[in-house]
Structure 1
Amino acid sequence: MVQKNKWLQRALFVSALMIAGHASAAVVTSVRPLGFIASAIADGVMPTEVLLPDGSSPHDFALRPSDIQRLQAAELVLWVGPDMEAFLAKPLKQVAANKQLAISELASVQPLLMKGDDDHDDGHDHAAEGHDHEHHHGEYNMHVWLSPEVAKVTAVAIHDRLLELMPQKKDKLDANLRQFEDQLAQTDKNLVKMLTPVRSKGYFVFHDAYGYFEKHFGLSPLGHFTVNPEIQPGAQRLHQIRTQLVEQKAVCVFAEPQFRPAVINAVAKGTTVRSGTLDPLGIGIALGKDSYGNFLTALSNQYVSCLK
């Protein structure tokens, strides 16, 4: 009997280890670019995981049961907030408040938020299209990871929260934050140099995601095809853009890897406008200490290669 009990205890211990190993402590982020920031700060402290698989959009994602387990097992969950990832609002009610950070709700981020373009003047027939403002088009543009300023304060918030959870890792976390801030400053300098020659070139983007980046680097967007990438722009909007392409001499129209709508090709057809692709989620960039800088640099290259 004793033998059997020992065996049973051992079996329970092994299965507990397996469960713990399966859902090990990690920083879990909603989208990849937040993973870039988190992985720099948590480097050597704990792994960083990204919830959304490459190619999916935060605007319309549905969680699987395994995702919910990952959220509950996470040491820290990092997301933009309910206006961007509506699908996280409910499951995060089950996660302790000190184990989650909503970037858009940080006191240090709120003054940096840009108003979103609600697109009320776009000539859409909203009723006919079943227009649904449920995703991020509350008052503000929620693509906050495209702002180097927001990235910097986000890094500080991640550092501070991980420090509360693991005070014994203070030296490593402090060093990681310093390194992140130094790299960000250097990347910023390099990108200003790189983007300055194309600042005055006009272009259209597919969806209203890039405001923070464009404002930071002084670019000249002429407009966007749609606010919500799930909704195709109406005929009137396309006509307006087509007219602008012909008249305003836009150099480029940009699609996105997640959305390659035929409308862009149709509108640009027969004009001298080039088409490019902007990736606001950094697909294919590996998480790590340098990943946020690599992400901003890749995006800048995407702008320059089409605009110059």
Structure 2
Amino acid sequence: MKIISDFRKYRWLKRSLLATALFSAGIATAQAAVLTSVRPLGFIAAAIADGITETEILLPDGASPHDYALKPSDIRRIRDADLVVWVGPEMEAFLSKTTEALPKDKNLMLTGLPAVQSLLIADEDDHDHGNIHPEGDEHSADSYKSEKMHGELAQNADDQHNHDHHHGQYNLHVWLSPAIAKQAAIAIHDKLLQQSPQNREKLNVNLRKFEEQLEQTQKKVGMMLQPVHGKGYFVFHDAYAYFENTFGLTPLGHFTVNPEIQPGAQRLHQIRTQLVEQKAVCVFAEPQFRPAVINAVAQGTNVRQGTLDPLGSGIALDKDSYTAFLTRLSEQYLSCLKGD
């Protein structure tokens, strides 16, 4: 009889624990987070949502918004979120279908905001500034380290040319613009205020602190980068125009528009010509993309190689994240351009 009694007690305890777990899970679901597509948007959201709700990032570190594919678990996170913050379909095509099903107050597409639209800059890939045109002199195989490298680059030339002309009208790496970051913060504030008007005072304080901190950081970064004004460089990925325009930097061009597509041979030949003529002091790769073509093009020149991280990998989410992001990026520019 004692065994039966003990078994009943165990079964009752197990049911109680299960009920508690389910109840806790229900609370967790009810307190879903602000979910942003990429990490830098999470930096902005974390400042506004500080002390109110959690902020989470959809894409894992190392993933690119250019070619990410949603998993079933990602779709569940999107549907359960209090608010989904993303750039727009030209940047994150993988989000278009899933976000269409969200209620309007839970879907914040930044390129849909008039205040952001007025700050967008044209994709300059079809203009002289910031671009190396694919047209130009033919190059020989000995322009690069090996015959194999030459063949691979030539094979990519047509793909690169075609992609360049179908990338979209605007540069959409909008999180690198302090001015657009401010508008994103205001929009996140307004969405969260609609959802939880009881948090009005806290949300207002968070937004005011973010705007003040952003203004101070912009002045600090401007002073940091002033010594390298006029120093030319190439970036691997056409992502930095907003940051460069804001702080007066001097890019000579980019290797590729989409980091998933290797640059064509003619483009690399023209970049190398400029490096040999000492028009650039630095070429920048990225943590996610360290293509061999950068080493091949820079070999035999005095140009330095640096790394820029446009996604802020490893920066923790908190109310100061966006400041840390802008500061670290400016330090990455300085390290290579100054030669430290």
TM-score relative to the length of structure 2: 0.84
Q: Percent identity?
A: 65
Which of these residues, 76, 87, 92, is aligned with residue 85 of structure 1? 92
Partner of 2:134: 122
Q: Is the 8 A contact 1:41 1:177 kept in 2?
A: yes
Residues 77-110 of structure 1: per-residue CA shift (max 9 Å, x gap):
0000001000000111221111011111111011
Q: Which amino acid aligns with 2:110?
A: I
| 1:54–1:283 CA contact under 8 A, matched in 2 | yes
CA drift of 1:133 comes to 4.0
Match of 1:278 among 299, 308, 311: 308
Residue of structure 2 equivalent to 1:222 = 252
Aligned to 2:173: 143
Larger relative helix fraction? 2
Q: Which moved more, 1:57-66 or 1:30-39?
A: 57-66
Q: 1:109 to 1:233 in 2, by over 3 A?
A: same
In structure 1, what is the equivalent of residue 288 of structure 2?
258
What is the CA–CA distance in structure 2 between the aligned matches of 1:182 and 1:125, rounded to whole Å?
50
Amino acid at match of 1:53: P
Kept after mapping to 2: 8 A contact 1:84/1:135: no
How far, CA to CA, are the matches of 2:332 and 2:157 in structure 1? 36
* Aligned-partner SS, 1:139: coil
Q: Taking structure 1 as reference, are residues 136 and 274 closer, same or farther at Cα in structure 2, changes over 3 Å only? A: same
Query: Is 1:240 aligned with 2:270?
Result: yes
Contact map agreement 2:160 2:262 (CA 8 A) in 1 = no
The answer on whether the counterparts of 2:233 and 2:250 sit within 8 Å (CA) in structure 1 is: yes
Aligned to 1:3: none
Q: CA deviation at 1:118?
A: 3.7
C-alpha separation between the residues in 2 aligned to 1:288 and 1:154?
Answer: 16
Q: Offset at 1:226? A: 0.5
Please give the alpha-carbon distance, in whole angstroms, between the structure 1 residues aligned to 2:234 and 2:125: 17
How far apart in 1 are the matches of 2:88 and 2:273?
A: 37
Question: Would the alpha carbon gap of residues 134 and 164 (structure 1) be closer, same or farther in structure 2, given more than 3 Å must change?
Answer: farther
Which residue is equivalent to 2:239? 209
Change over 3 Å in CA distance of 1:136–1:20 after alignment to 2: farther
Deviations 1:47-76 (A, max 9, x none): 000000001110010111111111001000
Q: CA deviation digits over 1:248-275, x for unaligned, max 9?
A: 4311000001100000010000000000
- 2:143 aligned residue: none
Aligned residues: CA RMSD? 2.4
Q: Which moved more, 1:19-28 or 1:260-269?
A: 19-28
Residue 4 of structure 1: aligned partner: none
Once residues 252 and 16 of structure 1 are traced to their aligned partners in structure 2, the CA distance between those partners, rounded to angstroms, is: 56
Match of 1:164 among 176, 191, 194: 194
Q: Which amino acid aligns with 1:208?
A: D
Larger Rg over CA atoms: 2
User: Could you give the per-residue CA deviations for residues 175-233 of structure 1, whole angstroms, max 9, x where no partner exists?
Assistant: 00010011101111111110000011000000100000000000000000011111111
18-27 vs 277-286, which deviates more? 18-27
Among 290, 314, 326, the alignment partner of 1:296 is 326
* Equivalences, count: 303
Q: 1-side partners of 2:134 and 2:26: how far apart? A: 52
Is contact 1:59-1:135 (8 Å) kept?
no
How many Å apart are 1:24 and its aligned residue? 3.9
TM-score calculated relative to the size of structure 1: 0.92
- For the 8 Å contact 1:251–1:274, the answer to whether it is kept is yes
Letter in 2 for 1:26: A
Letter in 2 for 1:72: R
Confirm or deny: 8 A CA contact 1:80 1:142 kept in the other structure.
Answer: yes
Q: Match of 2:253, as an amino acid?
A: G
Paired amino acid for 2:251? P
3-state SS of 1:109 partner: helix
CA contact (8 A) 1:214 1:221 kept: yes
Which residue of 14, 34, 37 maps to 1:30? 37
